[in-house]
Structure 1
Amino acid sequence: YRVIKEGGSFFYNHKIRYENGRMLHPLEWLSKTKWNVWQEIIWNRKIAGNIRGWRFWQVDERLYWLVKGKPKELKPEHAKLTSVWEIKPESGHKSHPAVFPIELPARVIYSVLEDKYGIVIDPFCGTGTTLVAAKILGKGYIGIDISKEYVEYAEQRLKHAEKEKLRVYKEVALHKVELTFKQRKEMGMWEKPSSHEL
């Protein structure tokens, strides 16, 4: 929080967990911090294990968009993104037990970070997925990890970031719109539906 400028964002990923039969929700501790919890995003992973069968299959994780103060508007060309993100988890990686699919940090970066010279910081960078996404999208990046092995792996991955460009570019193109709702309304191309249409 201290090093982020006013209006800066921090995205925090956490899965709802259970202990002694009680649900532990991330908002319990996030609400005690200085961060402004701007939005809760549901990451629908579409896959999960349900060994005990005590609850419905939990196929989702949460991303919390935390802001220092108030953020800028989202980039308008990506205005059709919703608060439910259907992105399949990464598979086949033996280098780290919890590798993000690169589409996840890419979506955050291209939707929120407007400044050409903006910097992405990942304090638990692991194998460098967030850093690779930032590099491909032309942003500055800083990665931190306690594991020397992961840092070295991330460095090598960054050297060959071009191999992952296609996935990032596909993700960016997936949600682009030619005209936002705001622009369509200003041009008289969109009317508010009447009550009987709702």
Structure 2
Amino acid sequence: MSKLKNSSLLVIVILLFCCITYCKGQDSILEEVKHFIPKSAIQNEIRVFKGDLNRDDLEDIILRFKLTNEPEYQEHVYLLIGQKNGKYELGAKNDSLEFDNVDGTVFDKIVIKNGYFSLEYIGYGNTSGSYEIITFKYSDIDKSWYLHRKGSKLIHRYFTEGDLKENISTQKDFGKILFQDYSY
């Protein structure tokens, strides 16, 4: 029993350390970009994601937040482009995303990789779950981000392997849509 208590305590300490480290890292990054965040932003809804959005080998930031005076499903996503002097400039923004907290779907994370970034959502229900991913790609020609791919997967606990519902659409299906013009 003593080993179980020690193991549990160790796991709790490690999780606490990870949470504190993550929060402090978010806080230091937020300090660098706080002038982009409106005063009415809900503090616990501000998220920062780092990566190279435009393939220039400089660290960029995606800032995702919500505002107090808007519906809970309304999201704001800003693409902040790293400059050689260590500052950030607004590359693009989208204030028209309305997917979080709709029909059991919640924001999960943003993944940035090699000029692409994806907004990822998870949905929960009594007998099913879903996964939504919306991916944008940087265009070197236009110096802008376009909708590249939308995918969704529905998993139902009563489905068999062949019943899995998956839907993927690409630019061939929806045309050229700029990130700032995209609404969901």
Q: Same fold (TM over 0.5)?
A: no
TM-score of the pair, normalised by structure 2: 0.31
Which is strand-richer, 1 or 2?
2
Which is helix-richer, 1 or 2?
1
Kindly indicate whether structure 1 or structure 2 has the higher relative contact order, using CA contacts under 8 Å at least 6 residues apart: 1
TM-score of the pair, normalised by structure 1: 0.30
